[in-house]
Structure 1
């Protein structure tokens, strides 16, 4: 770790290996900015940058990236779940601001204890709120836009607030363009008995129990036209295929796992094998740093 200096706004800046911040556990070094407010974020965005949240759905090159890497911290990683009296009703709660750096799994558990329903379909997704909103993360049982009221977005030109109705969002896509950072959100949720919310969480989580438990970015490909990408990869006979220390999981063919010591190059080689063997065009669900361009 190398601590860097020179931030006018007081942001903490360090040169760090990015592997420690990803669920896959690969990735080289970069200059990491830990920003706690809009002034620090604005300074970090003055140079080319990337935003790193929970580190899922992400494969970072072994040599790292040349851009600044932004991590939301401090107040931008805190939550206020108190109902906003001016916006809430007896049946529906609009919360205070929830920071983009808040881990989603802990948030979902807290909402359950409070008896707030709407996001339990996202249970088990290893993301932070900002990244989960940016890609509209979800499962077959629900997605982030099921529970959003207001989204605060920062750009190099300033901060603005939008609602879901302002965006062209859809499957794994918020409609928020690159170069925009989701800094905070207000949630819009239904009141329900905590036991009922827990039951829906358990139901959604049960469907995920066949997924691998090793280090993984998550699903590699989006389901093309409603067809299971995992089924297509399995039918191509690729379950258990290994390159280096990266493996197409025997439990679920749409997952690539790190057996320990895998490199980004190993993962890219497996992705190329899948693309070569599966005849149906599939869109990659992973974000690649840097982008390798079309396959």
Structure 2
């Protein structure tokens, strides 16, 4: 690597672009050290990238990456794996419901939701405002109280270390913020199952869901830190523990919503981990992280 932020670049034997990059630039929190980043645009490139230990990086939300980065390859989906075909499949669609063509795992979710609204297609408007890519959103079954990714899935294509498979939601043990897809598998494409509606009705539902997010912070953040335990608001528990506004380094428990940690500018992953430890130590109810941590806790 040379100075001034310029990175070494090379091309793999199958044509994947390989660069050593700071991962902070790919996350909504804006923290994270360097790694070898593979931009893959085909099944062959993805298979090559998966030959060595790897991680998959989508939109970078719900993710806290260590300040020293990670030793594994980091895979990002590009090219055809980041394209969408929303044409209804005539053999699977009906008067009330459509099944689309393939939507790549690298497609940004916000843009997809806006396009579905303009087409008057419903089922995924509850995910409005989630800054993810489709593959990552499916992998963690991202959503809000008004809907989640599995509300609108027909088929999921998954690259595994043994090859590519296609499954349906019925094949997976999915649930709240969990798809049941193993960590080392990659969601490459999906086909959506959507209800025919009107642009106006879909927009109204999106606006309703978005209104509930108005109290969330607008600064750099990974999203909600903890899952709601047993239907109880994690944010309320953290607030009741008197932790809103707690700051360590340049990371802050947001005054607007206690289940969000924000980057005030120049925060480190260590700052964020310290705040998570404070929350766990002060809230009596055991809290399960919604964040994905790199490296994974308990692993190198």
TM-score of the pair, normalised by structure 1? 0.98
1:26 aligns with one of 3, 28, 31? 31
The equivalent residue for 2:198 is 193
CA displacement 1:191-217 (0-9 Å, x = unmatched): 001100000000000000000000000
Pairing of 1:17-96 with structure 2 (within 5 A):
17-96=22-101
Asked whether the equivalents of residues 64 and 291 of structure 2 are also in contact (C-alpha less than 8 Å), the reply is yes
Q: 1:141 aligns with which of 139, 142, 146?
A: 146
Whole-Å Cα distance in 1 between the matches of residues 14 and 150 of structure 2? 33
Q: How well do the aligned residues superpose, as a CA RMSD in angstroms?
A: 0.9
Aligned with residue 12 of structure 1, among 17, 30, 45? 17
> Which residue is equivalent to 1:284?
289
Secondary structure, aligned partner of 1:41: helix
Q: Please list every run of at least 4 consecutive aligned residues from structure 1 whose deviation after the TM superposition is greater than 3 angstroms.
A: none
Query: Structure 2 CA distance, aligned partners of 1:123 and 1:6?
Result: 36
Q: Distance in 2 between matches of 1:6 and 1:85?
A: 40
Question: What is the distance in 1 between the residues matched to 2:91 and 2:138?
Answer: 24
Aligned to 1:164: 169
Aligned-pair CA distance for 1:135: 0.3
Quick one: distance in 1 between partners of 2:292 and 2:10?
Answer: 29
The whole-number CA distance in structure 1 between the counterparts of 2:184 and 2:297 is: 18
Partner deviation per Cα, 1:203-242 (whole Å, 9 max, x = no partner): 0000000000000000000000100000000000000000
| The one of 136, 139, 160 aligned to 1:155 | 160
The aligned counterpart of 2:248 is: 243
| CA distance in 1: counterparts of 2:227 and 2:112, whole angstroms | 25
Does residue 129 of structure 2 align to residue 124 of structure 1? yes
* 3-state DSSP of counterpart to 2:75: strand
SS in 2 for 1:80: coil
Instruction: Measure, in 1, the Cα distance between the counterparts of 2:169 and 2:91.
Output: 19
Q: CA deviation at 1:6?
A: 5.5
Distance 1:140 1:99 in 2: 25
Cα distance, 1:156 vs structure 2: 1.4
1:132-170 C-alpha deviation (Å, 9 max, x unpaired): 000000000000000000000001111010000000100
Residue number in structure 1 paired with 2:260: 255
What's the counterpart of residue 207 of structure 1? Answer: 212
Distance 2:54 2:259 in 1: 29
Q: Check conservation: 2:11, 2:17, Cα contact below 8 A.
A: no
